Structure 1
């Protein structure tokens, strides 16, 4: 049995394979800690062999991705000054190979296939959590919350947020109907329940904010291109002023109070302070990628004890920029911030300058969600994480030529037929 290359690597013809690959990848991202190395090998097996199928199409022009892979390469290089070189070497290679898989997906997966795979994959993740999930006590605020099959309610909340977003844009932006519309409805119900049960204020607030901003950008897109930038700038200024007023006027405390939280964000402000102090000890290069939260080191041991982390693992500073500064210093922070901001601003610019850019419309929401969450989570700094995969996928799409994003390649058969007819007439 011979399988056509296009059914694997052509974004216009590999919808079935692409959706399955994305769905299984997301499931692996969620539960690789449970299923171990076999699941990671499955993830690599979905993407890396495509290079052998058609390396020119799959790899593309490597020079366009230099700004995208900069942080991953620097993370690997940090092994030379790492406080835990063995940990840095292993996780650095994992992160770089994870980025490579995401960039392969950029070349072979359309945004519609991504959305379908995300709906299916997140649906499986949430179903699994509902069947095998548990409740955990948060010793800091004394409340029980549903964490699903994860170790943290914030991770369950993140998948629920992504589930609601992709299930929303699938019919609204991508025009999904029939089976995929029904699947989106089921995922919205599952994600909504998990979002409430997890009691993750971060996920609830960011989900509502991103959906609102996406609809706002959709409204801006109805205007002519020359009017969009002015309205967008005015809305950004007004939003900034409202944000400042909320911070200094007590609005933030009021909103957090609705979720039973206080202005310290359940100890996160103290954790941020500790992270900033740790970053100042090695401000340029950091202590090495993934080399801070290592068992046996005095400072992480102290923080694990203060925050009742009995497993002494899976903890972080709950802020992407502080975590990046601690591990990779100012250089790493700059490289990672470039990827995050260029991705968000790049898709925003395309929406302001172009009409009916469905791809950037979907990826704009993804990038914005990651930007907002970066202030309270580290979704984009770890290998085998759905946040980092989506970030590099969205970034990679900015490197593709405009024509290949907007229109499928022209079918050469009509031109060939016309040429043959002309040759016959000449004879």
Structure 2
């Protein structure tokens, strides 16, 4: 099928994959779960078709073993799962997301990845701003997702697609119907747009305009989680730039300063957290997270080694998730901490494997960022600025993982798989460079 092999078709579809993964809630709010399911199925099917037709390099040494181990363990957990039906759904969705991520990681060059991710983020931010303007100026009241009937009961704030308060300064939810998610996407956009602008892959005028929009959307969401993630990304960027200026044998001061910063920053965060939460309009219990963490920890201790079985998003219709995390009428479907969620679902064994996946990817991302090979492994353009992108994206995901479990599902998992695979391939190719 020649159309599948056209680079324009591949890039266009890749943009759509990124958009659908990052803004999945947009499709669910617009078309309902059945419509979203049909669209997701089409995305996965075309991803598999592209992998078959384009025949990317699947060389074993260039594929992260920890990713295979985690997927294998999640699949194997069907044997001991406490909720087999829910686990079958969760494992299937995990593999489906992984297949789409593999299409992105294996079938696109690094320049194409950066280009398509940036395009998807521009669509999300632009549509979010237009959507919020329409709701605030013309609708003038909160808007619920389509195809959902909440009856006559009071609807919790978090159920609304948009509360229509853009003109009051927010916080806004955008097309993704969640200010924390929109804020995180804005942070990712700021990173991507800044890298593109610094690398000269976009015009300076438009690059600055899109970067300004990303910062504006970041501020309008007023998300404490994203504020923490943005701080972490900034600190890591400064250390990476410092490390770049020193030879490998002269980086001990960088690592000592980084360790000291983590220690001082951790203590400082504990001290200023109450004031920060008050400034951002958050409650002292981290919007109910402390209660959720206590409940999840108690449950995980009942099956500490192998966990209850993989399910990704919690299935609220089965035990032990039914009624596990309910706050003000809202049923939460995650532990709001990825590490607790992995422990709950896959036990200590899962934590070990997940830690190996994350930190091996972080290790590769760091050295690919600071050592800067003379040329990129996938393209012929200089590597310098874009080599920072995997590190900064992964740091943002890790910071978010302390308060959200999104790194395990949908956009978070897709980005993690893309980063794990691409950094492994880049590392392998760099090692063969003269």
TM-score by length of 1: 0.80
1:343 corresponds to: 361
Which ranges in structure 2 are unaligned for 5 or more consecutive residues?
136-141, 143-155, 160-164, 375-382
CA distance in 1, matches of 2:266, 2:54: 51
Partners of 1:167 and 1:188 within 8 A in 2: yes
Q: Which residue of 1 aligns with 2:162?
A: none
Aligned residue pairs total 387
Moved more, 295-304 or 320-329: 295-304
Q: Residue 137 in 1 paired to residue 157 in 2?
A: yes
2:397 matches 1:370: yes
Partner of 2:14: 22
1:296-375 mapped onto 2 (5 Å cutoff): 296-297=317-318, 300-309=321-330, 312=331, 315-355=333-373, 357-358=383-384, 360-375=387-402
2:79 corresponds in structure 1 to 80
Q: Show the 5 A alignment for 1:26-37.
A: 26-29=18-21, 30-31=23-24, 32-34=27-29, 35=31, 36-37=36-37
Matched-pair contact (CA < 8 Å) for 1:289–1:327:
yes
> More deviation in 323-332 or 358-367?
358-367
User: What's the CA shift for 1:67?
Assistant: 1.8
Aligned equivalents of 1:300 and 1:45: distance in 2?
Answer: 31
Taking structure 1 as reference, are residues 275 and 233 closer, same or farther at Cα in structure 2, changes over 3 Å only?
same
Q: Relative to 1, partners in 2 of residues 1:185 and 1:87: Cα closer, same or farther, differing over 3 Å?
A: farther
Query: How far 1:58 moved relative to its partner?
Result: 4.2
Q: Quote how far apart the aligned CAs of 1:261 are.
A: 2.7
For the aligned residues, what is the CA RMSD?
A: 3.1
Unaligned residue ranges in structure 1 (runs of 5+): 8-13, 411-427
**Does the 8 Å CA contact 2:369/2:388 hold for their aligned counterparts?**
yes
- Between stretches 239-248 and 80-89, larger displacement belongs to 239-248
Taking a change above 3 Å as real, the CA distance of residues 3 and 226 of structure 1, as seen in their structure-2 partners, is same
Give 3-state SS (helix, strand or coil) of 2:172's partner. Answer: strand
The TM-score with structure 2 as length reference comes to 0.79
Q: Are 1:273 and 2:265 counterparts?
A: no
Label 1:44 to 1:157 Cα distance change in 2 as closer, same or farther (>3 A).
same
Give, in whole Å, the separation in 2 of the partners of 1:341 and 1:90: 28
Moved more, 238-247 or 83-92: 238-247
Question: How far apart are the structure 2 equivalents of 1:185 and 1:395?
Answer: 29
Q: Please give the alpha-carbon distance, in whole angstroms, between the structure 2 residues aligned to 1:129 and 1:392.
A: 26
2:316 partner SS: coil
Q: Which residue of 1 aligns with 2:233?
A: 210
Cα distance in 1 for partners of 2:64, 2:219 equals 39
After TM superposition, the structure 1 stretch with the greater mean CA deviation from structure 2, 102-111 or 281-290, is 102-111
5 Å-filtered alignment, 1:380-399, equals 380-382=407-409, 385-399=410-424
CA drift of 1:202 comes to 0.9
Match of 2:51 in 1: 51
CA distance in 2, matches of 1:137, 1:155: 15
